[in-house]
Amino acid sequence: MNVMAWKASMLAMLGLVAALLSYPTALSMAEASLISMPTEDVHRGHAPVVFLAESLTPDYYADSCPDVRGLVRSAVGEALQKDIALAAGLIRLFYHDCFPQGCDASILLAGAESELQMWPNRFLQRAAVQLIEDIRIKVHHACGPVVSCADIMALATHDAVLKSGGQSYLVPLGRLDSLEPAPLSTVSELPLPTFNISQLIEAFESRSLDVTDLVALSGAHTIGGAHCTSYADRFAGEANSNEFVRMLLHNCTTGDIRDKQDLDVTTPNKFDDKYFGNLEAGKGVLNSDMQLLHDPRAMELVKGIAENQWWFWNQFDTSIRKLGQLQGPQGNAGEVRTISCSVPNHKSSNVGEV
Ligand code: HEM
């Protein structure tokens, strides 16, 4: 490339990075009104709003829907055979449901005030939301309206892990579906990819999840992808010195901005421990991934897991079960949504209006 061409491409690149970093300000007023970028103080100084429930049990549907696990598994298997990228969509959907106010399927509710309209959820896969509803229809057809959407999400997440090459883990059941979506203030407590390690640890601790859970659950980034806007902060300091970051930047500047970058650059569709080896080699895509090397406890886990896949299976098993047990301050209160996972029962007569 000659000097002029190089200068032109650098200018284009800087323009793009500036655009990426100012992305929220480029949204329409309507979209902007839904956006709340958490400040650095968001996680400071308030008590945990979410705790670990103890009331769930593996045989909750033993009488009312004994084959619920089989029904969900075959539906997920069928969907993933058509599109394996949905596995990542299901897992992330579950995390974004559970973290704000517990695993209550509040993320699935439709409408103007819904969580799906909120800034932290803009990249959640809508096809994963639809898949949960498709599974609910099958399960309710077989057993009647007895299984909650929240439990279907927990089971579908397990099956997505399994079908992408991960190990099985216990999924206790008995969650109820929320009557309302979570408020924006709570959804905005989902940690950002720009967070440093202290902010990440603090955010997880606010949900009764420790640094071990943070590392193991970040391992879900062994599948799926990220949009350029999610890792644009990587270009700020490192771009010139780091070949991997230059590659990320190149993809963002030359490709379609809607394309996603694999989060695990070694085995992108396989639920294995390669993500951790990537981090050690400086090849984590998100800033929050790379931040796991900036705390001695987290780094020790990253190293250990990179060398021993069984460590990952065991710890992921424990940590995803903890994530799946999160409940809001109201406890396990709610209902089994009977008409649709996107509509609470009290609004079911207005389904056409939602
Ligand atoms: C530690 C804090 C975390 C941060 C800051 C974070 C952030 C992100 C971001 C920014 C993306 C890319 C979104 C996009 O651009 O499309 C992403 C993708 C993803 N995240 Fe996380 N995440 C975190 C933890 C988790 C956890 C705990 C899980 C699940 C247990 C998870 C599962 C996923 C999956 C599977 C994807 C890929 C989604 C897809 O391809 O559709 N993440 N995450």
- Please report which confidence band the pLDDT of residue 240 belongs to, taking 50, 70 and 90 as the band edges: low
User: What CATH number has the domain spanning 191-322?
Assistant: 1.10.420.10
Among protein residues, the one whose CA lies closest to atom 2 of ligand 1? 191
pLDDT tens for each residue of 126-144: 999 999 999 999 999 999 9
- Please report which confidence band the pLDDT of residue 331 belongs to, taking 50, 70 and 90 as the band edges: confident
45: left (phi over 0), alpha (psi -120 to 50) or beta: left
Task: Work out whether strand 261-262 and strand 225-226 pair parallel, antiparallel, or are unpaired.
Answer: antiparallel
| Pocket perturbation via mutation, ligand 1, pick of 50, 83, 92 by most ligand atoms within 8 A of CB | 92
Is the CB of 226 inside a 6 Å radius of any atom of ligand 1?
Answer: yes
What's at 69, amino acid-wise?
Answer: R
Choose which CATH entry (1.10.520.10, 1.10.10.60, 1.10.3720.10, 3.40.50.700) describes domain 51-186+323-353: 1.10.520.10
Q: φ, ψ for residue 158 (rounded to 5)?
A: -55, -45
Is the CB of 286 inside a 6 Å radius of any atom of ligand 1?
Answer: yes
- 250 a catalytic residue: no
CB 202 within 8 A of CB 43: yes
Topology match between the domains 51-186+323-353 and 191-322: no
Q: What is the pTM of this model?
A: 0.88
Among protein residues, the one whose CA lies closest to atom 13 of ligand 1? 226
Is the CB of 191 inside a 6 Å radius of any atom of ligand 1?
Answer: yes
pLDDT tens for each residue of 142-173: 999 999 999 999 999 999 999 999 999 999 99
The domain limits of the chain are: 51-186+323-353, 191-322
Integer Cα distance of 203 and 212 in angstroms: 13
Which is higher by pLDDT, 192 or 10?
Answer: 192
Integer Cα distance of 76 and 52 in angstroms: 27
Determine the distance separating the centroid of ligand 1 and the alpha carbon of 265, expressed in angstroms.
15
Token pair listed for 268: 């992108």
